[in-house]
Structure 1
Amino acid sequence: MHALKRPIQEQFPVLDFSYTPLIIIASQTSRTSGWDLSVLRSFACTCVRALVFGLGLGLAGQPVLSSPAAAEELVAFTGYLPPLSINEQEKGIAVELMELVAEEAGLDIKIRFAPWRRAQLLAENTPGSLLFTAAYSRNRSEKFQYIAPLLYTESAFVTLDQPLDTFEKAIESGKVIGVHLGSQRSQILQRFGVRNVEEIPSAEQMSVMLKTGRIDAWYTMSVRASYMFRQQGYDPGSLVIGAPVTHGIQWLAANKDLDPQIRGRLSAAVSRVWRDPRYWQIVDRYTH
C-alpha cells in the first residue's frame, strides 16, 4: 500500500479533524495505487467509532429528529461534478448519499443542480440552504459553514501508457497534461511547477482527448477518470492510474444562516450514514 505523500493535516491545516472522513474512493482499475478495498473498509469502521464518540460530545443536548412527520424542507445546491453529482436522472455518489442523510435527519431536502459556480452563488445567497460537495478553501469558509465530510477522494495522473506517480515525474515526462479549466487542480499544477498543461472545460472532452492522444495525461480524481471512460464507451481497464498525488475532502456545507439545530441533525445524520451498509453499495455502483 502506498503511503500518503503528505499527512492530511498538512494539506488541510485549518480543518477540524474530529471529523475523520471514512472513505477513500480509489479507482478499481488502478494498477499502481495498490489500495485494498477491504482494508479501507476495516479502517472506516475503526474511524466511525472515534467519530461517533466525538459527535456525541459535540451534539449533546441537541435534538435529532428522524421521524418523517417532523420533516422540514431544505434546498441543497450542487453542480455537475461526475460521478459525485451528475443530474436529476443519473444522480451520482454524493447525491444518493445526501438522500440517505435527508432520511436519517428527518428532513425534506430538495436537490437543485446548477453550473458549479452558480450553485455556490445560489447557496451563498439563499438563507438556510446547503451546498455539496465542496472542497475546503479559506475563501469559501468565509461564505459557508462546513457541516461534515461526505467523501474523501484522491487525485492522480491518468495515462494510457506509463504511470506518473509524482509531480516531478509529470514534469520530467514532458507529457501534455489535461486539467479542468479554472479548477483547484489547475492551481495545484501551477504551484508544483507543472507547465505543460492544457485546461479543458469538461470531463467529457478530457476523456475523449486522452483516448485520441490529444493530451497525454489527465490530472483528476481517479474515480472520475474511470467513470467518464465507461460513460464514453471506452474500456476503463485501459487506463493507467498513477499513485495518488493529492487528497481531498468533499464536504457538506451550508449557508451561514442555517439553523444550529438543523446543522446538528445533519451532522449526526452523516455519521449514521457512514455506518449504513447502503453507503458502500452506492459507492460500488459508481466505481465498478
Structure 2
Amino acid sequence: MRRTTIQGVGVLALLASLLVPSGAAGQAIRVVAAEFPPLTTQAGGQSGGVVLEVVREACRRAGISPAFSFLPWQRAQLETQARNDVLIIPFTRTPGREAQYQWVAPVLEFHTVFVTLATPPSSIEEARTLVVGYVRGTSFKDEAEHAALPYVEETDDDLTNARKLKLGRIGAWMTTDLMAHGVYRQAGFDPAELKYGPRLGPVKVSWVAASHGFPKEIAKRIADAIDQMRADGSYRAIVKRYR
C-alpha cells in the first residue's frame, strides 16, 4: 500500500512538472553555445568566454537563471528554432538567418579573416589558390561562397581547424580576428606563429538570438540589461579581459 502511494505521488509530481509553463520557477532558460573561444568556451569543464560572460551577467541583472549547454553548432541552431525557451550564442546576424530567429541583443563586433602560418594571401584572388578550412553551419560558409573559394573543407569545430593548419592539411583558416589566437593556444600551439590576411567583408556582430516564440518580455529584459552594462562600464570590463 505504501509503495502504491509513493508511486502515485511520483506520478503526480511528474505531471505537475510537465504542466509548469516554460520560464517558470525563477524564469530558468537554456542557453546553447558551441566551442568558439574566446567568445564561448568550456575549457577545463568551466563555461566562460566574453559573450557567455556578458549574457550570464545580463541574465543575473534581469532575474533570469541561465543553464548553459555546449552542443555541435548545427544541432544548437536546430534546437533554438524548435523550442521557445532557448537562447543561442554567439550568433552572427546574416541575411540568410534574418527571418528565422528573434534577434535579442547585439553583444560583440568582429571581422572574418584568413589565418595562415605561411605568408598570408594579400587578396581574395590569392586566397582562392589555398585550401580554406572553416566550421560548418556558420556564417563562414556564406562568406566562402560569396568569395567564390574553390577549395574548402568544413569541420565541426575550430580546434580541428587549428590542428589542420598546424599539420599543413589546410593552407588558410577562415575564422574571426577575436577567435584565432585563443583557439590556437587552446589546441596547444603558439599563437605567435599565426599570420593574418585580409578581412572578408564589413564588420560583423555577434548576437544573442532565439526562436520567434521565445517570450518577448524576457528578451527585452536581457537586452535592457546588456544596454545597462554598456552604460555602467561592466561590459567594457568583461571585454577587456579577453583582448
TM-score, length of structure 1 as denominator length: 0.67
Residue 115 in 1 paired to residue 72 in 2? yes
Distance in 1, Cα, partners of 2:198 & 2:62: 37
Residue 258 in 1 paired to residue 214 in 2? yes
Contact 2:33–2:90 (CA<8 Å) still a contact in 1? Answer: yes
Distance in 1, Cα, partners of 2:132 & 2:191: 18
Instruction: Give, as a single letter, the amino acid of the residue that structure 2 aligns with 1:98.
Output: V
Instruction: Give, as a single letter, the amino acid of the residue that structure 2 aligns with 1:177.
Output: V
What is the DSSP-based 3-state SS (H/G/I as helix, E as strand, rest coil) of the residue aligned with 1:110? Answer: strand
Distance in 2, Cα, partners of 1:124 & 1:175: 35
Offset of residue 264 of structure 1: 2.1
Residue 145 in 1 paired to residue 102 in 2? yes
Distance in 1, Cα, partners of 2:84 & 2:110: 29
Instruction: Give, as a single letter, the amino acid of the residue that structure 1 aligns with 2:98.
Output: S
Distance 1:239 1:282, change over 3 A: same
Offset of residue 107 of structure 1: 1.9
Offset of residue 166 of structure 1: 2.9
Q: Which residue of 2 is the match for residue 47 of structure 1?
A: none
Residue 129 in 1 paired to residue 86 in 2? yes
Distance in 2, Cα, partners of 1:254 & 1:76: 9
Q: Which residue of 37, 45, 51 maps to 1:82? A: 37
What is the DSSP-based 3-state SS (H/G/I as helix, E as strand, rest coil) of the residue aligned with 1:244? Answer: strand
Q: Which residue of 35, 60, 63 maps to 1:106? A: 63
Offset of residue 271 of structure 1: 0.9
Distance in 1, Cα, partners of 2:96 & 2:153: 25
Distance in 2, Cα, partners of 1:217 & 1:76: 31
Q: Which residue of 2 is the match for residue 248 of structure 1?
A: 204
Distance in 2, Cα, partners of 1:167 & 1:183: 19
Q: Higher strand proportion, which one? A: 2
Q: Which residue of 2 is the match for residue 205 of structure 1?
A: 160
Distance 1:102 1:161, change over 3 A: same
Of stretches 93-102 and 142-151 in structure 1, the one that deviates more from structure 2 is: 142-151
Contact 1:104–1:272 (CA<8 Å) still a contact in 2? Answer: no
Q: Which residue of 1 is the match for residue 124 of structure 2?
A: 167
Contact 1:181–1:199 (CA<8 Å) still a contact in 2? Answer: yes
What is the DSSP-based 3-state SS (H/G/I as helix, E as strand, rest coil) of the residue aligned with 2:113? Answer: strand
Distance 1:258 1:186, change over 3 A: closer
Encode CA deviations 1:88-140: one digit per residue, 9 max, x unaligned: 51422211111111122222222222222222222222224322222224453
Instruction: Give, as a single letter, the amino acid of the residue that structure 2 aligns with 1:228.
Output: V
Distance 1:255 1:202, change over 3 A: closer
Q: Which runs of 4 or more aligned residues in structure 1 lie more than 3 Å from their structure 2 counterparts after TM superposition? A: 137-143, 275-278, 284-287
Contact 1:166–1:245 (CA<8 Å) still a contact in 2? Answer: no
Residue 223 in 1 paired to residue 178 in 2? yes
Encode CA deviations 1:224-278: one digit per residue, 9 max, x unaligned: 2111121122221121112322332111112222333222212211111223434
Q: Which residue of 150, 155, 173 maps to 1:195? A: 150
Q: Percent identity?
A: 29
Contact 2:41–2:48 (CA<8 Å) still a contact in 1? Answer: yes
**Larger of the two Rg values belongs to structure:** 2
Q: Which residue of 48, 64, 80 maps to 1:91? A: 48
Structure 2: gaps (5+ residues): 1-24
Instruction: Give, as a single letter, the amino acid of the residue that structure 2 aligns with 1:179.
Output: Y
How many residue pairs get aligned? The number is 216
Q: Which residue of 226, 230, 233 maps to 1:274? A: 230
CA RMSD of aligned residues (A): 2.4
TM-score, length of structure 2 as denominator length: 0.78
Offset of residue 190 of structure 1: 2.4
Contact 2:36–2:183 (CA<8 Å) still a contact in 1? Answer: no
